Amino acid sequence: MFETHPYSTLVSQYLQERSFPQTPAYLYDPIRYILSLSGKRIRPMLALMGARLFGKENLQDVLPASCAIEYFHNFSLIHDDIMDKAPLRRGKPTVHMQWNDNVAILSGDALLVKAYEELAYCPADKIPALLRVFNQVALEVCEGQQLDMDFENMEIVSEQAYLNMIKLKTSVLLGGALKMGAILSDASEEQQQLIYDFGVNLGIAFQLQDDFLDVYGDPSSFGKQVGGDILCDKKTILRIRTQQLAEGENKEELQNLLFPNQLSDEEKIRRMKKLYSTLAVDEYTNELKEEYMQLAYNQLSAIDVPEANKAELFALADMLMNRVK
């Protein structure tokens, strides 16, 4: 779907043309490795789409900025995987498992430096504005990751706190990529803000859908274990809403499911899904996702460019929101 998109091909070709030294191998091999675990390249594609939206014809000018975003994204994945002690990334061993934590930390650092190197190849008059957006987004992604880790040690997390965390950890990078494309197309600050807000709200809707699919997705197409969030007691929107609403027997059942017990994985997932259904948190999650989706669509609609220019972003949003994995 995304891998064959013309912009994805453009980004992939540009990334393949970037060269890293052969030595020290333990610094650069992990970078080549993480970049080879081809994801959907959605974030760098958004920089190109943001530029094309405002009439940019020569996308070669935008490729360094899109590459910087992809480098930063992969830098954050390397470090997040260390913090999460994650064994797999896109079905392959994570960098810290393939090598070790020290190698992963340093390779991640080098990849962040390479992101700034790419920004230096952008048109000189645009670099200050691009840096302001890039730095703000990068710092907010770090804030979001810290909040996510803080939540692990909190018994109660509010819905608003959770939405703020996913906005920072996931969504601002989507908005930032689009805004950087808009900057490179000489869009006004008002138009830049609208496309940024579109990306942020699309990202929040995307994460809410991810929470839902983790529980209700088709195991054959979702690409990871269905119910994984339930088994590791992750505080998703479904879990947070359940804690808000559960009373009496439902509250007792929730406590039984959250504390260490002898239940099989299948039994724990089955009973938690039943609780979600009883409290209608599955329906609530879908409604909340639709609210953020509508916000995003409204912001894209408000942008002052020909409607034809918006078609590919509407199409991308539809693809993201109708995915099953």
Digit-coded pLDDT (tens) for 297-314: 999 999 999 999 999 999
- Tokens 């409290």 — which residue? 279
Q: What local confidence, expressed as pLDDT, does residue 36 receive?
A: 92
Three-class secondary structure assignment of 287-313: HHHHHHHHHHHHHHHHCCCCHHHHHHH
For residue 295, what are the contacts with CB-CB under 8 A and spacing of at least 6? 197, 201
Residue 261 banded pLDDT, cuts 50, 70, 90: confident
Digit-coded pLDDT (tens) for 209-249: 999 999 998 766 655 567 889 998 999 999 999 999 999 99
Q: What local confidence, expressed as pLDDT, does residue 29 receive?
A: 97
Query: How far are the Cα atoms of 45, 249, 300, 314 from residue 184, in angstroms, in the given order?
Result: 14, 57, 18, 21
Digit-coded pLDDT (tens) for 102-150: 999 999 999 999 999 999 999 999 999 999 999 999 999 999 999 999 9
